C-alpha cells in the first residue's frame, strides 16, 4: 500500500550523502544504520515529478525468474572516475559490471559518430545521441547474470544530461530534441529501464579537465573546459538540486577530492552494505 506522504530525504554516510525520492510514512520504522534522516528543502521547480510517484516507483526492481535484482548506475562528468570505480568492483566482487559501450560509439560499421559529434555537434549531435539511446537501452535490457548490476551511466543521463546540453547550447535544433524526447518517453513508458540507486561521483570540472588531458583519448582532445562546466551544472541540477528532471532512484553522492580517483575499498564496502539495507527496507515500504 502506498503511504500518503511523499517526500525527499537525505541520509549521511562516512564521506557520502544519500538523497532519496520516494513515499515515506511517519509510522515507518527505518533500521538501516544511517546516522541521520531529515528532510531537505523542497525542490524549486515544481515541474519535476517526484521519483516515488505511483507511475515511477523509486525502488522498482528487475525481476528474473522470480528473484529480485538490483541495478546501480555510476554517474558523473567526463573523467570523473567512473571507470576506475567500476574496475574495482569488477575485480574484487561478484557484481556484474557494464561499462559504457564507447567502442560501439567509435565504430559503427567503420564510422566514428563520437568523434564526429565532438568535431561538429550541430551536424552530428542527433546521429550520435540516437545511437547512444539505442545502445544504452540494450545495456538496460540485457539479461542480468548476477543479483547486482553496476552500469556506467544510464539511458536517463544520456537524455537528461548530454541531449539536454546539446539543446541548451544551441547545437541541437528543437525538432531533433523533440524527436529524441519522444523516443525516450516511449522507452521509459514501455520498457523496463528502472534503476535502484545512482552513485554520483561529484568531481569539479577543473579536476575532470586535468584528468581528461592526462589520458589523451583521441576524441576528447577537442573538449573545452566550458563543456565540462556545462555537464557538471546539469548533473548538479538533476541529482543534487533536483530542479531539472525527475530522479529515477535514490542518489549516493561521493565527492572526489584532488589526487583520488575512487573511494577507498573499506569505505565502499561499508557504504554499499548500508545502501543495500536501505533499499531492502524501502522496497518493503512501497510494495
| Residue 267: band (very low, low, confident or very high) from pLDDT cuts 50, 70, 90 | low
Question: What's the domain count of the chain?
Answer: 1
Residue 232 domain flag:
yes
User: Using an 8 Å Cβ cutoff, are 228 and 204 in contact?
Assistant: no
pLDDT beyond 80 at 282: no
Told to judge if 152 belongs to the known catalytic residues of this protein, a careful annotator would answer yes
In a domain, 55, yes or no: no
Residue 180 lies inside a defined structural domain of this protein: yes
User: Hey, is 111 helix, strand or coil?
Assistant: strand
Q: Which is more confidently placed, 262 or 257?
A: 257
CATH number for the domain that contains residue 115:
3.40.50.300
pLDDT tens digit sequence for 210-233:
988 888 777 777 789 999 999 999
Instruction: Show Cβ contacts of residue 156 under 8 Å, excluding neighbours closer than 6 positions.
Output: 73, 193, 195, 245, 248
pLDDT at 2 over 50: no
Tell whether 21 is covered by a domain. Answer: no
- Catalytic-role residue among 75, 100, 152, 164: 152
Overall average pLDDT of the 117-125 stretch = 94
Least confident of 1-10, 93-102, 113-122: 1-10
Rounded Cα gap, residues 47 and 276, in angstroms:
30
Q: How many Å apart are CA 170 and CA 167, to the nearest integer? A: 5
pLDDT at residue number 85: 85
Answer whether residue 61 is part of any domain. no
* Beta strand segments in the chain, E: 6-13, 16-23, 37-38, 62-64, 67-76, 96-98, 148-152, 197-202, 251-255
| 8 A C-beta contact, residue 235 and residue 225 | no
- Reported pTM: 0.74
pLDDT greater at residue 68 or residue 81: 81
The predicted pLDDT at position 272 comes to 58
Is residue 49 assigned to a domain?
no
Q: How many CB atoms lie within 10 A of CB 130?
A: 16
pLDDT at 14 over 70: no
State the first-to-last Cα distance of the chain, in angstroms, to the nearest integer. 6
20 part of a folded domain: no
Q: How far apart, in Å, are the Cα atoms of 2 and each of 28, 37, 52, 53, 285?
A: 12, 20, 10, 9, 8
Decide: 21 and 42 in contact? Cβ < 8 Å.
Answer: no
- pLDDT at residue 236 is higher than 80: yes
CA–CA separation, 149 vs 273, rounded Å?
15
Grid cell at residue 119: 568535431
CA distance 53 to 22: 7
The mean pLDDT value for 202-213 works out to 91
Rounded-to-integer distance, Cα 85 and Cα 70, Å: 18
pLDDT-derived band at 52 (thresholds 50, 70, 90) equals very low
108 DSSP 8-state letter: B
For 145, the domain range is 70-285
pLDDT of res. 220: 78
The pLDDT value recorded for residue 242 is 92
Given a contact cutoff of 8 angstroms between Cβ atoms, the answer to whether 63 and 69 are in contact is yes
Question: What pLDDT does residue 131 have?
Answer: 97
195 within 8 A of 148, measured Cβ to Cβ = no
Q: Helix, strand or coil for residue 241? A: coil
Dihedral sign for Cα 228, 230, 234, 240, please: positive
Structural domain includes residue 148: yes
What sign does the dihedral 121-100-89-156 (CA atoms) show? Answer: positive
Q: How confident is the model at residue 281 (pLDDT cuts 50, 70, 90)?
A: low
Q: What whole-number distance in Å separates Cα of residue 163 and Cα of residue 112? A: 18
Are 134 and 121 in contact by the 8 Å Cβ rule? The answer is no
How many other β-carbons are positioned within 10 Å of the β-carbon of residue 74?
A: 27
Cell numbers at 128, concatenated: 550520435
Those residues with Cβ within 8 angstroms of residue 35's Cβ, 6 or more apart along the chain or in another chain: 12, 13
Amino acid at each position: 500500500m502506498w503511504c500518503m506522504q511523499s517526500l525527499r530525504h537525505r541520509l549521511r554516510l562516512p564521506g557520502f550523502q544519500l538523497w532519496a525520492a520516494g513515499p515515506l510514512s511517519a509510522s515507518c520504522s527505518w533500521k538501516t544504520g544511517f546516522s541521520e534522516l531529515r528532510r531537505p528543502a523542497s525542490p524549486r521547480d515544481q515541474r519535476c515529478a517526484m521519483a516515488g510517484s505511483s507511475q515511477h516507483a523509486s525502488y522498482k526492481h528487475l525481476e528474473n525468474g522470480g528473484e529480485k535484482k538490483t541495478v546501480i548506475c555510476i554517474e558523473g562528468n567526463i573523467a570523473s572516475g567512473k571507470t576506475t570505480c567500476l574496475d574495482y568492483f569488477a575485480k574484487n566482487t561478484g557484481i556484474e559490471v557494464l561499462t559504457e559501450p564507447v567502442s560501439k560509439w567509435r565504430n559503427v560499421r567503420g564510422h566514428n559518430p563520437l568523434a564526429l559529434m565532438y568535431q561538429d555537434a550541430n551536424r552530428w549531435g542527433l546521429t550520435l545521441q540516437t545511437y547512444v539511446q539505442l545502445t544504452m537501452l540494450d545495456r538496460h535490457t540485457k539479461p542480468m547474470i548476477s543479483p547486482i548490476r553496476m552500469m556506467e551511466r544510464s539511458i536517463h543521463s544520456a537524455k537528461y544530461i548530454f541531449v539536454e546540453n546539446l539543446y541548451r547550447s544551441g547545437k541541437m535544433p528543437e525538432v531533433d530534441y523533440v524527436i529524441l524526447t519522444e523516443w525516450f518517453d516511449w522507452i521509459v513508458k514501455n520498457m523496463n529501464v528502472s534503476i535502484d540507486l545512482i552513485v554520483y561521483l561529484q568531481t569539479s570540472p577543473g579536476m575532470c579537465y586535468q584528468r581528461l588531458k592526462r589520458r589523451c583519448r583521441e576524441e576528447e582532445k577537442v573538449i573545452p573546459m566550458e563543456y565540462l562546466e556545462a555537464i557538471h551544472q546539469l548533473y548538479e541540477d538533476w541529482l543534487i538540486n533536483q530542479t531539472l528532471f525527475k530522479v529515477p532512484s535514490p542518489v549516493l553522492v561521493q565527492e572526489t577530492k584532488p589526487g583520488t580517483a575512487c573511494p577507498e575499498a573499506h569505505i565502499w564496502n561499508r557504504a554499499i552494505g548500508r545502501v543495500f539495507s536501505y533499499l531492502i527496507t524501502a522496497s518493503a515500504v512501497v510494495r
